[in-house]
Structure 1
């Protein structure tokens, strides 16, 4: 069964994607074990972490108190695109997420480039998240024992160290849990998600006891450009909500649960982020928060005049960020599995262990590859590239909704984008606006990344694609 689409785009129909993912073939079988609560926890686990615990200070440095507007702007961008993910996730409940959505609507070449960009969103962001975890681990150790890891072993060369050992350790621990099975991973993620929300609520209770309205003035001293730059950085805090759609083959009743989980997770994250940003700045002022590592612990320490509260926040951050590593690595392995099934990357990535029903070799390869930038890179180096890659994927997903409504109007959709076609068009517009805010250096880096991806597809993926032998 083969669909070429207009102008030979090599489109694979949604029905074929679902049929292939659900085929009970040896080495391909994933089990549906996740309910709605576990899926929501998985989504929160993928979203809430480094962006708010570590990245807040960078966004504040750009936007000042108006960082609350930056978070809201980033959230609006995500909400428009979340509607598109919800429609596509309910209509095509497979593990390939945006890669599969692009394959069904925009063709194989675009799908490959979306999968290539997902290496930034999931793979490279794992490295960024692991670096943030290392910062809070040191904060926790210092609050508990008065001792912390030396810079040589807890930071990369760009931050005055040699190798970031904790960042490597958290990636390897996540890999161990992932290869044990999705049921165990989902339980761990649910527990960590509940804990991290509790810790952030504790932070808000402490921060707002010292809230001073005067700390919010001047509110937008950096102007619209500062808000835009802050929003581009704040967007990193929302990366991961689409990981929910990578669980399409392991979720019970996916056509119902995936759209609901996406919208719940975006709502929870937005409320938390805006409240935490206002609480932190209202307590100490923007200058005290800007460019400070482990900013939330700093706020609590100064408000309570003690290191105990900051230690609790640091503990919450260590747990929260570890859950992001776990959820995002899960998403990366499922994307690679889908691409491997289609023949676009080596077959080792599609093999599933009959004992654990997990892609064991895939998981360890991902862990090994992305432990390297985690060990030797700084957080700033990878955040902007991750952000622009994710925004490009979101543009493709919004366009995919438009294309699929035209090419497959009869497709069963458990959720439909409201105010179609205005919503996906606005989603594209907001994504392009935030891409503009990442700056020309990031554009050049991303352009080079896309050129490399195009070459890989042209000289490897296209000739090995299983579309070639489909009939």
Structure 2
């Protein structure tokens, strides 16, 4: 039965209470955590990807993606406040729709976090390489800083930063919480400076033609731009570390989304109104896909002719500032991105390892994923394994392809949470809901339809990849996980000794004022 093996909410909450983390995060820390996770490659890099798909119409794409994310956030907020435990959409689905759906959601979240971390690594590489070349005049071979789809061989800087973040997560440095707060401030300041310098000198001619590829292009850009909002759901993985989660989780989720949306609209307007954002077409006027070899070749031809376009840039915002007469400020923005983007990689990989950890705690993944390093007291096995895959993604794929693949997993998980909210209203109407999704029977279906619309707007290759990934997940579930599930064996709560999972200090959560207590 597809909705069988439901893990009762009472058991989930009891397990969380027994293995609870120190509750130290307030509304402000959660909001900053969300801003730190959201503002990253999406706005710093995908602006160019969106321009190639939609031109100036990407303004509408940002609004569409932001709206879908907002209604999904309202559903997330109700579940996060009502079920304040680790595991995000995976845990919510387990409590409402059963083990199989929960497994598929968790499997999709693996795709979201790991591939997203790879995408951010590629974005970091673009800005750092651009900074080195423009500030120091060092010419770095393209073959070593771009993957094979993007006109190179391997993206070594992206691999390097993925490896560095993996090492930091393994050793669990105390200082990362304070460092993350500084990096969030740097990112926000950099974007604010970009807006202050670009918006006042906008030329409305840049907005014409507004939708050169029609609404299809706007939809495709919205599906890609959705990546720019991904990260707010990672806040829900910190539910067990939140003071008064019934109040603070909704504030953190929706507050961080609102702040980021304002920045995105202003930054996009600044790019369009200053350097333009028209797509680059092929020699015969054909549409070129972002991240394709054909686009890379055409961009190289334009650069040779002295006609560079923002859609060709790997550091769109820094490039824009240089083009409008602020080369040193452009270099500073590149430096800010280089300093700040690793915090997003860290947050994504942190969320990935925590999803694995919770799934392992439920018996759906091998116990080895829960092994704790004897010195650093961190789940080093799964952290290192995740780091290897992230580094490989970053080395060989361009940011646009990685972002779209990540979005497919994210949209599936968001839709599942929205369904869970509606189902739980009917199956457990008396449960206390500190935060109630407004007009849930309207809001949740809109969120589901929005996620389906954006998923459908993704490229055919991306959708096929998701289907293949889901098929692999089903094979793993029926071949391994189903027979080892604690719920399937009647074990709703596993004592620490029996589970062989000792309490452990959590690796420092970005945005947290303290390194936390014990992992769940």
TM class, shorter-chain normalised?
over 0.9
Q: Deviations over 1:260-281 (max 9, x none)?
A: 1000111011111111001111
Equivalent residue number for residue 276 of structure 1: 267
Task: Tell me the secondary structure at the aligned position of residue 203 of structure 1.
Answer: helix
The match for 2:430 is: 410
**1:356-435 equivalence runs, <5 A:** 358-435=378-455
Q: CA deviation at 1:454?
A: 0.7
Return 356-365 or 244-253, whichever deviates more.
356-365
State which of 3, 10, 19 in structure 2 corresponds to 1:15.
10
Contact 2:77/2:253 (CA < 8 Å) preserved in 1?
A: yes
Of residues 83, 89, 106, the one that matches 1:115 is 106
Deviation at 1:182, TM superposition (A): 7.9
Q: Which residue of 1 aligns with 2:175?
A: 184
User: Residue 303 of structure 1 is aligned with which of 307, 324, 332?
Assistant: 324
Structure that is richer in helix per residue? 1
Q: 1:355 to 1:20 in 2, by over 3 A?
A: farther
Q: What is the Cα deviation at residue 405 of structure 1?
A: 1.2
* Matching of residues 247-258 of structure 1 within 5 Å: 247-258=238-249
Give the 5 Å matches for 1:231-270.
231-270=222-261
Unaligned runs of 5+ in 1: 1-5
Is the counterpart of residue 138 in structure 1 residue 129 in structure 2? yes
The within-5 A match list for 1:20-59 is 20-24=15-19, 30-59=21-50
Of 77, 80, 87 in structure 2, the residue corresponding to residue 96 of structure 1 is 87
Q: Is the 8 A contact 1:143 1:310 kept in 2?
A: no
- Pick aligned residue for 2:314 from 280, 290, 293: 293
Note the alpha carbon deviations across 1:330-355, whole angstroms, 9 max, x for none. 11111111100001011122344576
Which whole-Å CA distance do the structure 1 matches of 2:367 and 2:38 have between them? 30
Unaligned 5+ segments in structure 2 are 279-308, 492-520
Shift of 1:439: 3.0
Q: Find 1:162's aligned residue among 153, 169, 180.
A: 153
Residues 36 and 214 of structure 1, relative CA distance in 2, 3 Å threshold: same
CA distance in 2, matches of 1:179, 1:417: 37
C-alpha RMSD of matched pairs (Å) = 1.9
- Distance in 2, matches of 1:389 and 1:59, equals 20
1:319-330 to structure 2, matched below 5 A, reads 319-330=339-350
**C-alpha deviation, 1:315, in angstroms:** 1.1
Determine which of 335, 339, 354 is the counterpart of 1:334.
354
The TM-score with structure 1 as length reference comes to 0.93
Count of residue pairs the alignment pairs up: 461
1:207 and 2:228 aligned = no
- Give me the whole-angstrom Cα distance separating, in 1, the residues matched to 2:160 and 2:22: 28
Q: How far off its partner does 1:8 sit? A: 6.2
